[in-house]
Amino acid sequence: MRVKICGIKKIENALCAVYNGVDAIGFVFYEKSPRFISSEEAKQIIKQLPAFVNKVGVFVNQTLEEIIDIIETTGIDTVQLHGSEQNYNIDFVEKLASKINLPIIYSIRIKSISDEIFYDKFFKEIQSLVGNILFDRLDNSELGGTGKVIFFDNERPLDKNFMEFISKKVIIAGGINKSNVKEIINFYKPYGIDVSSGVEKEKGIKDNNLIQEFLSLLKK
């Protein structure tokens, strides 16, 4: 299982995560986010990171041109789309994929993971175009990093085929921290998890002790 720490703004936090075994570092290029980082700041961090760590750019309803410009400036090697279905529709994703030749993570905001999601027409179309699907907790007031957990129901297990899909392609985000990560992993067995607020001492401020504690917990 892969682990991404998202919303990195400082090199010391990035290196702490890397040296404690993280698989991917996320940079948020959405200006309204408390975790926003500029292209130039991200570039300076990325060039100091060792090999074999993915550098993920998180975009919220930004244009094709803006995304491509940030890719070229920073050197990110993975794109995460985190916006509305109207902006990041099938046509947009197809055009982006044809231009960047990089892995794409497509974020879908939901309250709970259930079989119904996998029958949705848009979901079926989008998942065939991207490398991974990220499930994040739906919150009408915020886009990601809310600290709220996706609901899961032990009494309503998912279809076996959907569980297999989750293990191969789904990244789970939303309120993950040291107190619930093992339960989430054991229940869903996802391809990956994405943590942000769970390793922060305050909103938008990562803490190296929390990063180290969280990542060491996953090795046990």
6: annotated active-site residue: yes
What is the extent of the structural domain holding 122?
Answer: 2-218
Question: Phi and psi for 5 in degrees, rounded to 5?
Answer: -105, 125
**Predicted local confidence at residue 81, as pLDDT:** 97
Give the residues across from 78 on adjacent strands.
56
Choosing from 69, 77, 115, 136, which is the catalytic residue?
136
Whether the predicted pLDDT of 141 surpasses 70: no
Q: How many CA atoms lie within 13 A of 101 on its CB side?
A: 1
In this structure, are residues 89 and 106 in contact, taking their beta carbons and an 8 Å threshold? no
Residue 159: active-site member: no
Does this model's pTM top 0.85? My answer is yes
Mean pLDDT, the chain, whole residue set: 92
When mean pLDDT is compared across 104-108, 130-134, 144-148, 168-172, the lowest value belongs to 144-148
- Considering its fold, how many domains does the chain have in total? 1
CATH of the domain at 105: 3.20.20.70
